[in-house]
Structure 1
């Protein structure tokens, strides 16, 4: 309301769904699409870290967080991203640990012995670019190190 602010619909709807305190017919899986529509109509972007609908709220870079999530998806978040039609994302950057890179390497079916080499390169790239390294870049780094370990010549360049 006036001067007191309005409670964000997505936060109230998810809190109601999570706690079961009152019934709601709001389909929380549709909140991201609704928020995107409202943001587009209003000409205002959604903050990347905005609760419930922000792009990065289910992204994890820290080695401790990633390691915990890989062991138990509820370790650092009480809200299941699947309920919102989303997924957890591993972001590779200067704070990443071996658990994150192992997950990326595992997804690619790469040899585990390249992990330490690739992690060092990913951290250096994150430090130089002063931001997280997109997973596709980390995959290219890991793949290139796999090629090197396999004794094949490879020519690659990763752009921040």
Structure 2
């Protein structure tokens, strides 16, 4: 009778043991946020894109002309979240918004803190509420609030 073969095993923990550089474009954007400023980048057609992209969406050429934009803007579209999930940064009802900041031509996605869905509308003016301790992350804009 043949004996059972030995089964080899090794403990394994899945992990990502590397770090990634943000690069010159995203790094500049995040550094600006740490200083409570918002920057976009100018595309080949003159549009200001926030957050900035490394490559032009029309020509695919590298972009490098940064433009500071305002911390205020207009809600272009929105979706109400009545029951936030555990991983949401706001643990009370809020709206996901597409906000076009003053000085930008392309809206960006972020959160709007509002009392309820009736307080949110397309076209409303909003302003950024900054994190108490910015750290160079998109959450340095804690959320937007009605202006």
Range into which the TM-score falls when normalised by the shorter chain: under 0.3
* Higher helix fraction (1 or 2): 1
* Higher strand fraction (1 or 2): 2
Question: TM-score scaled by structure 2?
Answer: 0.25
Structure number with larger C-alpha Rg: 2
Question: Whose RCO is larger (CA < 8 A, sep 6+)?
Answer: 2
